[in-house]
Chains A and B, each alone.
Chain A
Amino acid sequence: MKKKKTNLTPYLYIIPGLLMVLGLVYIPVIVNLVYSLFHLSSYSSSMRFVGLDNYRRLFTNDTFPIMMRNNIYYCVISLIVQVGFGTFLALLLESKLAGERFKTICRNIYFIPSLVSLTAVGLMFNFIYNPQLGMLNALLKNIGMANLQQTWLGDKNLAIFCIIAMSQWQFTGYITLLMVVAFQNVPNDYVEAAIIDGAGPVRRALSIILPLAKEQLLVCTIITVIGAFKLFTEVYSTTVGGPGNSSQVLGLFLYQNAFLHDDMGMAAATGVLIFIITVTASIFQLKISRSGEV
């Protein structure tokens, strides 16, 4: 082999990127693990070793079950709506029933919300949900259903679902577009062969198109699950966890402990928890997809 000449240069391609990832992603994560064993604040230089106390305080915190519940709600609903419904929508957009131009316009419109910054969408929905001047209550009143008016973000039982709904509004089109792209990659001959075999549209979708786009589906699922446990900006720009603690999530809890409650150790412990959840979920999904492949 011509290895002699090339065994030096290949690493030059790899090392810069690798070092960036190691230095600014992995090292902070490891440092974070260390911090989680200390009591420290952002402005004082002293650190006090407290062992696993931060974890104890995290898991016994009254907010902990609420946060976990909210993150899981977000995750499950996003999987159903963004990935599930988004994929269904992509199938509709790739079906031959509607005109090409019309479908392209629809697809682009669905994608637009994901181009708007999270804070902009958060501020916007703050208005939409506003009980006094918001769009939702005004609409309900105008169509004669004033009795359905709600406080929305101010209601303990609704707040987190309002935030979740906002995210679905924003990101379903994103997943749809990614899936459309994957479907366009399915070789036409396969689909045509299936048509000749007399397969209806439903069967074509289930047995030809979806299996061939499996990898993309997996990527979308992983992105969605990780995103659900990273959730921060959506809540920060709307309820900031309220009313009470009802819409608190892990990401915001971490942030508030780090920069509001002078409790970096607790923040780091929360970070470790997020880390464990996202990594486990990703590995789990990869495993499932592998076993399905064989």
Chain B
Amino acid sequence: MKKNLKKTLSIGLAAMMALSLAGCGGSDTSATPAAGDTAAGGEASQAAPASGDVKTIKLFHRFPDDPCNAFIEKKIAEYEAAHPDIKFEVTSAQNQPYKEKIKVVVGSDECPDIFFSFCGEFSERFIREGLLMDLTPYLEADPEWKESLMETQMDEYTTADGMVYGIPFRLDAKEFFYNVDMFNDLGLEVPETWDDFIKVLDAIQASGVVPIAEGNQDKWPGAHYLGALNEQCVPDEVRAKDYDPKTGEFTDPGYVEAFKYYQQLVPYMNMGVNGMTHDMARLGFTNGQNAILFAELVEITNIKQENPDMNWGMFKFPVIEGAKGNPDLVSGAPEGFAISSKTAYPDECIEFLKWFLGPETGAQQAAEVGWFNASLGVDEGLTDPSLVSAYEVIANAKKMDIWFDNALYSTVCDEYLTQISDITNGDVTPEDAMAKIQKVAAEAQNLAQ
């Protein structure tokens, strides 16, 4: 009996393996038309160094929408044509899924050679695991390249110990956009201080228009307000200490103040802030239902698409007089590409990035997509006044302050976003909100070690 059982079992096992092999085989062969090149690419990247023919570089980015996606594809095709020994394999994902996906692949063997990575804590967690390549030696070896890049922007892609880990693809900053016609009709001036800002908002509201368009369903738009307010309310050193997960406490009273200023704005926003996405709220601005929108420079392209005839302008986040923070910071960050420390072709990747993120491609990118990279002089051929003024915002910035949601450790960030969302709905007081954030920050100190 027992023998029989053993025999049956082993036969069964064999059958199972055969079956599962058949299953996998089936799925593999059927995968050939679409996935075939992926598999082939993977093999090639391992085989290539020996044979030396085609080198496959995997690139993963987060710009799947046109015109940017088309631009990237076009540029890569050009590069491939000029370099027959290099083949690219490009994948992309939307922002939110991207943030999840990249963490999944970056530690595995499937890691792309070149990939998009936000600066700040988002990348630094990978650096702690030794997953990103140090670009500093390459920049030192090519001073011309180093000098061609905007220093304020490169600073953001440099760690505290001086390691450069990314090269910007698009520069970005947050500004208030306003409807110029509406301001003129009401005889309003662009506000420079917080008090003026509130007066302007009052005047707009009195005229029957809901002043601010805001959609916080995805939670990051609110974080951008808080990021800007924290810059002004909390001294730089304190923020630097708190944004570091190992030392973060968030006990400075300035954080509560920042929440209170944010609370002041909420009544001027459209209805259902938490029930709408940012881009949906932007339609309210471009359709003339709201007068003001806090938006990123990269959205200029979208605004022009949605309403080409609109007469709009920009102003800087108003200065809160007497606050303890730094009013000179420009909220925003470059977004760029990093290279995996595991790549088989570090030199080829660098060569490509020098070109792809260099002045020549950058000028075309500015003209075609409306986004700037960090190479100096990409604005020279610009004629569009709105893009020129956008470029000035960044070029004139003495120092950038990276996106709040990229600066924080992930659990702290999540809690902060949650509290902002609750404050927007009026469900929690600033003091309680900060108490909850402090608790998570204390816990993060343990986790980040």
B16 touches A15 (CB 8 A): yes
Which chain A residues border B99 with CB–CB below 8 Å?
260
Best-buried of B4, B108, B275 by chain A (most CB within 10 Å): B275
Stretch at the interface among A41-49, A89-97, A276-284: A41-49
Contact status B422-A12, CB under 8 Å: no
Whether A11 sits at the interface, judged by CB under 8 Å, is: yes
Beta-carbon nearest neighbor of A13 in chain B: B12
Given A7-B8, A8-B7, A12-B8, do A151 and B104 touch, yes or no (CB 8 Å)? no
Over the window 128-161 of chain B, the binary record of Cβ atoms lying under 8 Å from chain A Cβ atoms (1 yes, 0 no) is 0101000000000000000000000000000000
At the interface, yes or no: B341 with Cβ under 8 Å from chain A?
no
Which stretch, A69-77, A176-184, A203-211, A241-249, touches the partner chain B?
A241-249
Asked if A111 CB lies within 8 Å of chain B CBs, one says no
- Does B410 lie within 8 Å of A260, measured CB to CB? yes
Type the 1/0 row for B182-218, where 1 means its CB is closer than 8 Å to any CB of A.
0000000000000000000000000000000000111
B104: contacting residue among A43, A153, A256, CB under 8 A? A43
A152–B410 touching, CB < 8 Å = no
Closest beta carbon of chain B to A68's beta carbon, Å? 17
**Interface residues on chain B, size class:** 35 or more
Q: Contact check, B276 vs A132: say whether CB atoms are below 8 A apart.
A: yes
Residue pair B280, A7 in contact (C-beta under 8 Å): no
On chain B, the residues within 8 Å of A155 by CB distance are 274-275, 425
Whether A261 sits at the interface, judged by CB under 8 Å, is: yes
CA distance A243 to B272 in the complex (A): 11
With A12-B8, A43-B104, A244-B425 as known contacts, state yes or no: A256 contacts B414, CB within 8 Å.
Answer: yes
**Which B residues between 15 and 71 are near A, CB-CB below 8 angstroms?**
15-16, 19-20
Complex Cα spacing A183 to B13, Å? 42
With a CB–CB cut-off of 8 A, which chain B residues contact A36? none
Contact A261 B425 (CB under 8 A): no
Q: How far is the CB of B106 from chain A (nearest CB, A)?
A: 5
Binary per-residue interface labels of chain A (6-20) against chain B in the complex, 1 for a CB within 8 Å, 0 otherwise: 011101101110011
In the complex, B271 has a CB within 8 A of chain A: yes
Q: State the CA gap A129–B280 with chains docked (Å).
A: 13
Any chain B CB within 8 A of the CB of A113?
A: no
User: Does B443 count as interface, using CB distance less than 8 angstroms?
Assistant: yes
Question: Is the CB of B253 closer than 8 A to any CB of chain A?
Answer: no
Asked whether, in the complex, the Cβ of A130 is within 8 Å of the Cβ of B274, the reply is: no
CB distance from A29 to the nearest CB of B (A): 19
B81 contacts the other chain (Cβ, under 8 Å)? no
- A230 CB-CB contact with B under 8 Å: no
| Chain A residues within 8 Å of B436, by CB | 62
A259 near B: Cβ within 8 Å? yes
- Tell me whether B388 is interfacial, beta carbon within 8 Å: no
Complex Cα distance, B67 from A196, in Å, reads 74
For residue B77, CB closer than 8 A to chain A, the reply is no
Closest chain A CB from B22 CB (angstroms): 11
Residues 270 to 285 of chain B near chain A (Cβ within 8 Å): 270-276, 280-281, 284
Q: A259 touches which one: B4, B104, B439 (CB < 8 A)?
A: B104
B275 neighbours in A (Cβ, 8 Å): 129-131, 151-155, 243
B240 at the interface (CB under 8 A from A): no
Contact with B along A145-176 (1 / 0, CB 8 A): 00000011111100000000000000000000
A239 at the interface (CB under 8 A from B): yes
User: Is the beta-carbon distance between B15 and A260 smaller than 8 angstroms?
Assistant: no
Q: Which residues of the partner chain B approach A239 to less than 8 Å between Cβ atoms?
A: 217
- What's the Cα separation between A263 and B414 when bound, in Å? 13
Contacts of A244 in B (CB 8 A): 418-419, 421-422, 425, 427-428
Query: Which B residues lie within 8 Å of A133 (CB)?
Result: 280
Contact A8 B422 (CB under 8 A): no
Knowing A132-B272, A156-B422 touch, does A260 contact B8 (C-beta < 8 A)?
no
Query: A154-B276, A244-B428 are known contacts; what are 16 more A-B pairs with Cβ within 8 Å?
Result: A7-B1, A12-B8, A16-B15, A19-B12, A43-B103, A131-B271, A132-B281, A155-B274, A156-B422, A156-B425, A240-B219, A242-B274, A243-B422, A244-B421, A259-B104, A261-B411
A residues in contact (CB < 8 Å) with B: 7-9, 11-12, 14-16, 19-20, 39, 41-45, 57, 62, 129-133, 151-156, 239-240, 242-245, 256, 259-263
Listed from nearest, the 10 A-B pairs whose CB atoms lie closest are A154-B275, A131-B272, A43-B107, A15-B12, A154-B274, A243-B274, A244-B422, A151-B272, A151-B275, A259-B100
24 chain-A/chain-B pairs, Cβ below 8 angstroms: A8-B8, A11-B9, A12-B8, A12-B12, A15-B13, A16-B15, A43-B103, A43-B106, A43-B108, A43-B126, A44-B107, A62-B436, A151-B271, A152-B272, A152-B275, A153-B217, A154-B273, A243-B216, A243-B275, A243-B421, A244-B422, A259-B103, A260-B103, A262-B410
B residues sitting closer than 8 Å to A (CB atoms) are 1, 4, 7-9, 11-13, 15-16, 19-20, 99-100, 103-104, 106-108, 125-126, 129, 131, 216-219, 270-276, 280-281, 284, 410-411, 414, 418-419, 421-422, 424-425, 427-428, 436, 439, 443, 447
